[in-house]
């Protein structure tokens, strides 16, 4: 967006996107093609209720044009759930990238959440981006904090119950 060329979008409108892609396909040639959209969730940022409708429209129209589509989408950092509940329903595969800071150092992870008709690893792997090599898989993640630690809400309830019990014991003594 923002550029004045025949392939740039004037707005984040799904109909305009699909029209541009089809126009490009007609101009550049028929046959199989790859399409990358980064980020698809930008199209429903101001209307998340439309996410599923837009996703299905995109797949329905562009699948007839023999595209393999790689689309990025945001997810809610607070819940790790999909943002807008749209593209994950139509996707044949979902590759989730995560990150955390441990000991003051950024660590990156990859998890294959869904891959239709394909066996795939269900284990999260730590990754690194290395100059000249690209994405390098460092190895599986054996344990994560949430694997061994109770959720914060549960810990708070337990602490509150423990304090109440201690206060009760003090009053009865």
Q: How far is CA 61 from CA 8, 14, 34, 54, 167, in A?
A: 20, 11, 15, 11, 65
How does pLDDT run across 32-87, given as a tens digit for each residue? 889 999 888 888 888 878 888 898 999 899 888 988 889 888 776 555 555 546 67
Looking at residue 22, its pLDDT comes to: 93
Residue 82: Cβ-neighbour burial (10 angstroms; 0-12, 13-18, 19+): buried
Length of the chain, in residues: 173
Q: How far is CA 14 from CA 7, 53, 57, in A?
A: 14, 10, 9
d(CA 111, CA 140): 10
CATH number, span 1-91:
3.40.50.300
pLDDT bin (cut points 50, 70, 90) of residue 147 is low
How does pLDDT run across 86-143, given as a tens digit for each residue? 677 788 888 888 888 888 999 999 999 889 999 999 999 999 999 999 999 999 998 6
In terms of pLDDT, which residue wins out, 157 or 149?
Answer: 157
Looking at residue 5, its pLDDT comes to: 83
* CB-based contact 9:1 (threshold 8 Å): yes
The mean pLDDT of 148-165, rounded to a whole number, is 79
Tokens of 18: 């699909």
Looking at residue 91, its pLDDT comes to: 85
Q: What is the pTM of this model?
A: 0.68
Question: What single DSSP character describes residue 130?
Answer: E
């Amino acid at each position: 967006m923002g550029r004045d060329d025949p392939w740039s979008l004037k707005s984040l409108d799904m109909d305009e996107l699909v029209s541009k892609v089809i126009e490009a396909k007609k101009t550049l040639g028929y046959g199989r093609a790859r399409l990358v959209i980064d980020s698809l969730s930008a199209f429903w940022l101001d209307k998340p209720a439309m996410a599923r409708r837009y996703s299905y429209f995109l797949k329905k129209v562009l699948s007839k044009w023999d595209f393999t589509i790689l689309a990025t989408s945001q997810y809610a950092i607070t819940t790790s759930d999909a943002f807008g509940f749209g593209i994950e329903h139509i996707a044949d595969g979902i590759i989730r990238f995560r990150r955390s800071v441990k000991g003051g150092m950024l660590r990156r992870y990859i998890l294959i959440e869904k891959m239709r008709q394909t066996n795939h690893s269900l284990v999260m792997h730590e990754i690194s981006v290395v100059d000249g090599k690209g994405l390098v898989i460092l190895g599986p993640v054996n344990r994560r904090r949430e694997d061994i630690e109770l959720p914060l809400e549960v810990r708070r309830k337990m602490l509150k119950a423990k304090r109440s019990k201690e206060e009760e014991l003090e009053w009865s003594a």
